[in-house]
Structure 1
Amino acid sequence: MEPAAYFGDVVTQISRAVDDDEEDCQLDESLLPVLRWCPSIRQQLEASSTKCLKCSILMVAVGAEAVGFSQAYLLPEDPEILGVIASGMSSLDKNSFSQKADSDKTCFIHRLASNPEVLVVLCKSNVAPEQAFSWTQQLFENIESENLYVTVLSSSLVTEYKSSKLVSELSTPFIRALRSSAYKAKPQSPFLEAPNMVSSLPAAVLNHCQVNSIAAVLYVAFVDSPHVDVESMEVFKPVLEATPVKDLVQPRPGASKRLQQFVSVHLNTINLYT
């Protein structure tokens, strides 16, 4: 990938996203991600001339911090699940659509009832770098890209952040941004400085948007612990003022409580398997 003008306006920061799938590798077909829509959406796609869902805003949350924030501030209490993207499963595997079965390795695709053209994808489960390209292609193949805005939220440990400052001198958590050249609005955080890079699924989504002239912005939260907490999720709150997310955000009086509940569930899950 050329490091210079690839991200348009981000050139001044010389920041880059790296798609791990750019390397030659052969992936076992049984491990390729599988996208499954619920029956009603499948029928809707089959009846559509474009075989795509109408979508004006696509939110992709990758990792516990991003998923917890999105659940608390963007999704209603009982969101509509349109489908899942299952990673590392064959097309014959069963899936419970509840992420409770042992076989579930899924990213859920939600739709806002208040605005059916807003899709929110939650990826709590890990998507391996070698699966990221196929995952991204399958999602965007079923979404209309005209006039589409994409926002990606992800996180990384602050120890991965390259800076002239010592890690102990950094005030964590904090966020940094990358954007495609088609995204003309100003991000709600500083750009990610060189020589930092983004990889895996967030990079694959942003690269797809850059190549296909889709307006997209990626926010990375740098956190100091692998265990999710309220502060590490709330670091994304400036995104609520970003274009076009600010147009769909509604008052969430119970958001703080939902964040606390997410932390409790996350910690219980860790304790269960340790």
Structure 2
Amino acid sequence: MATFFGEVVSVYSRAVEEDEEDFDENEEDEQIRRELEEKREVHLQWSPEVEELLRSGSKRLQCSDFILAVGHNAARFLSVYVLNSANWDAVGHASLWNERTQAVGGQTSEESACVFYRNKDNTSVLICQVTCYIAEDQLFQWTEKVFGCLQQRGLNVMVLSDSPVAEYKTPDYISSSSVPFLRSLQTSASSSQALCPSLEQPNMVTGLPAAVLSHCQVHHIPTIAYQCYSDVITPDSITMETYKPALTRLGKSIQLEPFPSADVLRKFVKASDIQSNLYI
């Protein structure tokens, strides 16, 4: 090969070595991707009794009502008004890892953040409380694994979720006296009458509630979601009580504690952290 200055230099081809280097890099990237996928996998752990039921018969739990609470107020509402009785057993939990769960206390998984409970008298009623963050790439996996354990025939799903009122879009003024409030969204297979107005456009349901609604819409599972818009970010007794009418529709399937004691409320309702207040 001639250069601009007239000398002739030999041509050295690195095609083979470059191909080998690219192959090594691709193989290394693939290994990293596989390890990351394994690390971000959602794991379901069930009690021995439930594990035995899942291994036998149809390999699915008979479930007539599945109540999913997403967010601190929704989860604490169930703790105060439903799960505080002795009629419920913790039968499993989901564990997962992502960047946000790692940032909270440095723990890779938090068992208490996603727990399943089953009614002792009516074992077809299942409750799940979720207070941990589930990343976008884990939502489909969580939904597929959980609903893969449930018998879909005759299944009804109810989702309770928290949302800040600042994200609620409306042309009208929202007075402080009207907060908190509920909005509903349901699948086409649901025939029940919602107890509150439907969620208006352009408002959306996001995260795990959206993933569950999408799954149930595709699989024709009757589902209704109640999203509570509140101006507080910590568990609050007024916000929790907003969910009460939703469960009264379930009748005998769920027994609500109409007047929880002050001790029970103090146990689950935490005061807002004011240590960061600049005026203190």
| TM-score, scaled relative to structure 1 | 0.78
The alignment partner of 2:178 has SS state of coil
- Find out whether 1:44 has 2:53 as its counterpart: yes
Deviates more, 1:193-202 or 1:250-259: 250-259
Distance 2:93 2:84 in 1: 18
After TM superposition, list the pairs within 5 Å mapping 1:72-111 onto structure 2.
72-78=80-86, 79-88=88-97, 102-106=107-111, 107-111=114-118
Distance 1:34 1:273 in 2: 36
Is the contact between residue 97 and residue 108 of structure 2 (CA under 8 Å) also seen in structure 1? no
Superposed displacement of residue 152, structure 1: 0.3
Superposed displacement of residue 228, structure 1: 1.9
Among 267, 273, 276, which residue is 1:261 paired with? 267
Q: CA RMSD in A?
A: 2.7
Q: Percent identity?
A: 34
Aligned position for 2:182 = 175
- Find out whether 1:248 has 2:253 as its counterpart: yes
| Paired residue type of 2:48 | P
The alignment partner of 2:129 has SS state of strand
Larger Cα-atom Rg? 2
| Paired residue type of 2:58 | T
Is the contact between residue 173 and residue 221 of structure 1 (CA under 8 Å) also seen in structure 2? yes
Deviates more, 1:126-135 or 1:168-177: 168-177
Superposed displacement of residue 246, structure 1: 2.2
Deviations 1:230-267, CA, capped at 9 Å, x for gaps: 0010111110232xx22323352552533332113xx4
Aligned position for 1:210 = 217
Aligned pair count reads: 234
Unaligned runs of 5+ in 2: 1-33, 99-104
Distance 1:256 1:164 in 2: 40
After TM superposition, list the pairs within 5 Å mapping 1:1-274 onto structure 2.
28-47=37-56, 49-78=57-86, 79-88=88-97, 102-106=107-111, 107-168=114-175, 171-242=178-249, 245-250=250-255, 252=257, 254-257=259-262, 258-264=264-270, 267=271
Distance 2:276 2:110 in 1: 16
Deviations 1:92-111, CA, capped at 9 Å, x for gaps: xxxxxxxx994542410100
| TM-score, scaled relative to structure 2 | 0.76
